Amino acid sequence: MEKTLTYKPQNAWETYADAPQRKSMEALAVRYIDFLTRCKTERETVDYVRERLIQAGYGEDFAGERVLRPLRGKALFAARRGSRPLEEGLTLIAAHADTPRLDFKQRPLIEQPGVAQAKTHYYGGIRKYQWLARPLALHGVVIRENGESLTVNIGEKPDEPVFCIADLLPHLAQKQSGQTISEAFEAEKLNIILSHSPKQGKGGKKDKDAPKEPIKEQLLDILHKKYGISEEDLITAELQAVPAGPARFVGFDKALVGGYGQDDRICVFTALEALLTAEAGQGNMAVIFWDKEEIGSDGATGAASRFFQYCVEDLARSWAPGVPASHVLLHSRALSADVQAALDPDFQEVHEKQNAAQLGCGPCFSKFTGSRGKYGASEADAEFFGQLRGLYNAKGIPWQTAELGKVDLGGGGTVALFLAAYGMRVIDLGPAVLSMHSPFELASVADLHATLEAYKAFLEA
């Protein structure tokens, strides 16, 4: 393409305009929709990734050329050896597998008039009203006293029941409609309806044995009969309420994908595909998928933990004895693969349009994240950014650049700073999404394809 002096981001639909490209884009989107439909929690995502890697010959022995290491089923590191020495660093893509949701409290069950409910504690940044009056599915694990694990996944198949938080009817919402959003929607009212029918008493006029909380007791009977679990078992469970139902194409042209958890599973999916399909190259490729990003990356399976460092230490011992892991880390190059907020057609005023991400213009670089005066951010250096720009221009891969909203209006972070802490070069690159953190996020099919191309080109470079 002829270079002009002015800059304008390229539209990925124009880049990928010919019929075979469009066909392979749609095929990729179909596989992505299946992945989104099946993987709604970090555990399910890590299981999926692990299975795909094992099928591709990855093993847990770091002496191998293709290695993987999961942590507690919630985070995963994988690496693929290249011909260049590990001393030159890793080419790494990092994404996160956790998503905003409603977690069951440890003692969740309550009975209120007419229903038994589960009390919840929300995880990550949600707009609470989006979770009312919509079908929810339950995903997670229940760990029994003897250590046995029961996997839970209810509400996804068409013949299975779903669960729901009731919302206030408009007729009685007059007072609420004058309140601020944070006053109107209280976290302690996010109670999920689990059942409705009461347990029958034994009969008689004065039934001393009549259950005190008949609906809750009936529910416990059902849970015991069906799954062999008691109320105490729920204390040692991780149960997540997530939007029920499949991801879908959106629009007459099927050019968008709608679904839950695209932040950041679109990056997990494309980074995994990139690792699996990249041409065997010279560089040593790696991916890491973390948990806990949505709540600040703390915890054993989050980016602030030492897990990644330990993996690189073991990799160095095995692939490059004598080379300190610190050297490998310092010389690595990384993409922090996370989504960017797309310019919202109906809320354009929160964006500074020239530096906002456009749906359909390819993956988006964020040179820095954070808020206010770039607080809480790591910032990529211009040299690294420049190299990547050159790489993508040479390969004809569309890309763009953005900040998260207007300066001083908000902000947000990614895992980039945890990698930057090692001194490695790192920049954020990921597709734009609309309705981020909602039960039904939107991403462009063209961006999905362009992001895969960009991650692949980075790993191969």
Burial of 346-375, coded b for 16+ CB within 10 Å and e otherwise, reads: eeeeebeeeebbbbbbbbbbbbbbbbeeee
Measured between its terminal Cα atoms, the distance across the chain in Å is 22
SS3 string of 254-294? CCEEEECCHHHHHHHHHHHHHHHHCCCCCCEEEEEEECCHH
Nearer to Mn ion, 35 or 163 (CB): 35
Q: State the Cα angle at 399 between 395 and 401, rounded to 5°.
A: 145
Binding marks (x or -) toward Mn ion, 287..326, rule CB under 5 A?
----------------------------------------
What single DSSP character describes residue 333?
Answer: E
The distance of closest approach from Cβ of residue 102 to Mn ion in the complex, given in angstroms and rounded to an integer, is: 15
CA-to-CA distance for 192 and 109, rounded, in angstroms?
Answer: 10
33 neighbors 246 (Cβ within 8 angstroms): yes
Burial bucket for residue 169 (CB in 10 Å: 0-12, 13-18, 19+): exposed
The distance of closest approach from Cβ of residue 294 to Mn ion in the complex, given in angstroms and rounded to an integer, is: 5
Nearer to Mn ion, 88 or 291 (CB): 291
42 part of the interface to Mn ion, by CB under 5 A: no
The distance of closest approach from Cβ of residue 201 to Mn ion in the complex, given in angstroms and rounded to an integer, is: 48
Nearer to Mn ion, 103 or 338 (CB): 338
CA-to-CA distance for 459 and 271, rounded, in angstroms?
Answer: 9
Which one, of 294, 295, 332, 329, lies nearest residue 314 by Cα? 329
Candidates 47, 233, 273, 338: give the one binding Mn ion (CB under 5 A). Answer: 338
Nearer to Mn ion, 42 or 264 (CB): 264
Nearer to Mn ion, 47 or 338 (CB): 338
CA-to-CA distance for 168 and 164, rounded, in angstroms?
Answer: 13
239 neighbors 140 (Cβ within 8 angstroms): yes
The distance of closest approach from Cβ of residue 129 to Mn ion in the complex, given in angstroms and rounded to an integer, is: 18
Q: How many residues bind Mn ion (CB under 5 A)?
A: 3
The residue range among 63-71, 332-340, 383-391, 402-410 that interacts with Mn ion, by the rule CB under 5 A, is: 332-340
Binding marks (x or -) toward Mn ion, 233..272, rule CB under 5 A?
------------------------------xx--------
Nearer to Mn ion, 338 or 453 (CB): 338
Nearer to Mn ion, 283 or 405 (CB): 405
The distance of closest approach from Cβ of residue 145 to Mn ion in the complex, given in angstroms and rounded to an integer, is: 35
Nearer to Mn ion, 41 or 218 (CB): 41
Token pair belonging to 255: 């050019």
Helices (H), 304-437: 307-319, 325-330, 382-395, 416-420
Would you tell me which residues interact with Mn ion (CB under 5 A)? Answer: 263-264, 338
